[in-house]
Chains A and B, each alone.
Chain A
Amino acid sequence: MRHELPQPPQAAAGSWHPATTESRTARFILVSVALVFLGLFLLLPLISVFFEAFRKGPAAYFAAFADHDALAAIRLTLLVAAIAVPLNLVFGVVAAWTIAKFEFKGKAFLTTLIDLPFSVSPVISGLVYVLLFSTHSALGPWLKSQGIEILFAVPGIVLATVFVTFPFVARELIPLMQEQGTTDEEAALSLGANGWQTFWHVTLPNIKWGLLYGVLLCNARAMGEFGAVSVVSGHIRGLTNTMPLQVEILYNEFNTVAAFAVASLLALLALVTLVLKTLLELKYGAELAANGGH
């Protein structure tokens, strides 16, 4: 025996649709606007990077990486990221821990301070270091007498990168840790765990996905930073040029293929970061849901 299920009213029968759904036309327009915008402003530039890089064929593309200066730029970028990201990982966790788990005077000020690198133009961030360490500054002559080079050398680039990428890890962790509160830590302490065991066995597993996510974003920015690094680097070929700076130099010399080849590497990094981030979000979301958002 078959039961006739009551059918919802057909669209043809009238203009009926659920209250939260827009009409067909409106949906079509909204989706199109979004897609066209994404295509024009995000996808097209990305494709053109690879298109330009391969304009003269794969041979020319790979030749661009055989260049001594380009290799040096890639190495420098990796080195800077390898120093700046772990530093910010540690600072970020410490800052987030301090802000989320303790009450103290000046907490609001510290929270605002962490955001400073986001709100200041990267060029200014770079200039700050120039003012601090240049030969005309108060510190400059002393540093020079000690033979310490900061400006127009690797330490300056690292400092500027650390400054610019500081907020990523901390910003990611503060809301997460605030939401989780301190009872898990108190439970661990009452069971006899010391501070380090509590951090390692309880706090870190609770924040690991947020932490990874913050590190990914931090790394992407550390490798891609242009403004602040440009100011402190001095653009010495083969020595203080990072990948973004190398791209600019090559482009200004009308070496389009080489410029876009290096740029394509950076773009590739961005894509990998995005994919990883999406994967993490999937994982992260499932885990949060499994814990009842608690």
Chain B
Amino acid sequence: MDVRVSGVRKEFDRFPALHDVSLDISSGELIALLGPSGSGKTTLLRLIAGLETPTEGKVFFGDEDASLKSVQERNVGFVFQHYALFRHMTVIDNVGFGLKVRPSASRPSNEEIRRRSSELLDFVQLGGLEKRYPAQLSGGQRQRVALARAMAIEPRVLLLDEPFGALDAKVRKELRRWLREIHDKTMHTTVFVTHDQDEALELADRVVVMSQGKIEQIGTPDQVYDTPNSPFVYGFIGESSSLSVRIDDGEVWLADRALGLKSDAPDGDAALYFRPHDVELVDGCGGCIAGTVIASRRVGATRRVELEIGGAAERVEIEIPADHPAREKSRIAFRPKHWRVFPKV
């Protein structure tokens, strides 16, 4: 099922949570809504589900205007951050709930509901736990029950709010891979919300980066990582370092030196962004960035060095090979391999 969000604005008590958001999701895609807290990602998810109504704009499922429909009519599978399992029902009753509450005309028989719930529990690898109560399950198991419950209603779209937020790191990684497998088997159109960039980049077909109620960038994990289109995306996804520079006639200048980097940004003050690990060290300096080492830390296979550029005015972090001595007060010169210049606003 294609999902189209078109020009949606949402205000809570006059406080805008989303400004004019548009998003096209094609059938069978796995989409991540990624952003810091307060970026509006959960609000967008709840708008698609019908748990919130937009102040302006529309949501389409296929060609049909879903904004006119209630959450019950939209037939979406929603997995809540803390699962929201019904604590007084057994696991199998939780999974079968969506079928049990159907109007009698479309409700399967009791045996049919049991059979399908059982099948789904096997599918999420929880066979044998039918009679347990949610309180008797681990966090990862509850998460899978919640997913099975959402899938039981044969949803047109699967929506997951911070699906791994409440789990510990190890379980989180396992479930991440497992969710990808589930998606590849069922090919549900799936949207999930996360603030964890690793999760978004590893799992999603496309990542929607959000900040302050706006979409900053939509793209494949490679696109948003390799060619971030704003300082925010550069800073939020992966690590980044930035330097204040000046653009003059297509050349990037750091203080009074040309760096030998070309830019088509307009003349004036700007910021140069690059990845700390994506630099090459150079000897001697004709068109490079040079600085004094003020701190050096060994992090795993590399060494992370903080440099003071141009007499305490600015500090940047770069990663260099671990065998580089990088003594304090020594000089290091480098040039970013990939970089982008954004005009200062």
Contact = CB atoms under 8 A, between A and B. Distances in A.
B49 interface: yes
Contact of B101 (A183, A191, A206, A290): A191
Contact of B97 (A183, A191, A290, A292): A191
Contacts of B135: 290-292
Contacts, number: 67
B72 A187 contact: no
B87 A206 contact: yes
Contacts of B72: 189-190, 192-194
Interface stretch (A74-82, A110-118, A197-205, A257-265): A197-205
Contacts of A217: none
A291 B87 contact: yes
Contacts of A193: 72, 97-98, 101
Given A192-B98, A201-B101, A184 B84 contact: yes
Interface residues of A, number: 20
B82 A183 contact: yes
A30 B153 CA distance: 61
Interface residues of B, number: 27
B206 interface: no
B80 interface: yes
A156 to B, nearest CB: 41
B236 to A, nearest CB: 27
Contact of A191 (B50, B51, B82, B153): B153
Interface of B: 49-51, 71-72, 75-78, 80, 82, 84-88, 97-98, 101-102, 133-135, 149-150, 152-153
A206 B88 contact: yes
A67 interface: no
Contacts of A186: 51, 71, 78, 80, 84
A197 B97 CA distance: 10
A194 B86 contact: no
Residue from B51, B101, B102 whose CB has the most chain A CB atoms within 10 Å: B101
A188 interface: yes
B212 to A, nearest CB: 23
B307 to A, nearest CB: 48
Contacts of B77: 190
